[in-house]
Structure 1
Amino acid sequence: MSPTFQTVLLLSLSNVFMTFAWYAHLKDMAGKPWYLAALASWGIALFEYLLQVPANRIGHTTLSLSQLKIIQEVISLSIFIPFAVLYMQQPFKWDYVWAALCILGAVYFMFRA
């Protein structure tokens, strides 16, 4: 498995954990004290870091720092949109599509020769 593929896979998995750590408490722990939500989020975020740190170390063997960051942004949006629509039951917005197109433009500039 190539380092780039390993990086994308690990970053995707880490982003699932991070998205839940950052936002799921808004639905699942509504009405609970903020510090309980923070503790739960930190517990989830630990797993994110256990995937994210090796992903960036592996990725940095073949990708620049800027390329790693833009890959993370693409993955973040790719995970967040389904999370927002399916889990948080937010309505789909065309703004998601336009934001994705802007990020694809950023990908082009980071990876062009």
Structure 2
Amino acid sequence: MTDRIAPVLMLLASNVFMTFAWYGHLKHKAAPIWAAILVSWGIAFFEYCLAVPANRIGSNVYSAAQLKGMQEVITLAVFAGFSVLYLGQKISVNHLIGFALIAAGAFFVFRG
């Protein structure tokens, strides 16, 4: 059971890092772009330290397509929370419908 859960938890944690790396600087637009890039690279390093082993471990249990589908759903869930809690932006009904369609795609990837 740990082989199934560990990759999910690692992908979840890696997505938190990556979301901050890609979007965290939007809250600090006064900083020069080169600083945003360097800080983002530093944060992304930790994302890779989690994502690469998560996919390696996960490949023993899940197919590559399943790992990618899982990654997309996790990314959207983390991004939605980040967008609301950190950036103070609202999630609209259209966003939710779009996210649900992507989640439906992941459902079909996992379906036998």
Q: For the superposition of Structure 1 and Structure 2, which TM-score range results when normalised by the shorter chain?
A: over 0.9
Match of 2:93 in 1: 94
* 3-state SS of 1:62 partner: coil
Q: Please, what TM-score do these two structures have when normalized by structure 1?
A: 0.94
Q: Please, what TM-score do these two structures have when normalized by structure 2?
A: 0.94
Q: CA RMSD in A?
A: 1.1
Query: Could you give the per-residue CA deviations for residues 63-99 of structure 1, whole angstroms, max 9, x where no partner exists?
Result: 1100000000000000000100110011221123212
| Structure 1 ranges of 4+ moved more than 3 A | none
Ranges in structure 1 where 5+ consecutive residues have no aligned partner: none
For 1:92 and 1:68, how far apart are their aligned partners in 2? 26
1:27 matches 2:22: no
Count of aligned pairs? 112
Match of 1:53 in 2: 52
Ranges in structure 2 where 5+ consecutive residues have no aligned partner: none
Q: Which amino acid aligns with 1:90?
A: Q
Once the two structures are overlaid, the 10-residue window that deviates more, 94-103 or 31-40, is 94-103
For 1:112 and 1:92, how far apart are their aligned partners in 2? 28
Match of 1:12 in 2: 12
**Percent identity of equivalent pairs:** 49
For 1:85 and 1:74, how far apart are their aligned partners in 2? 17
Q: Which amino acid aligns with 2:107?
A: Y
For 1:6 and 1:99, how far apart are their aligned partners in 2? 28
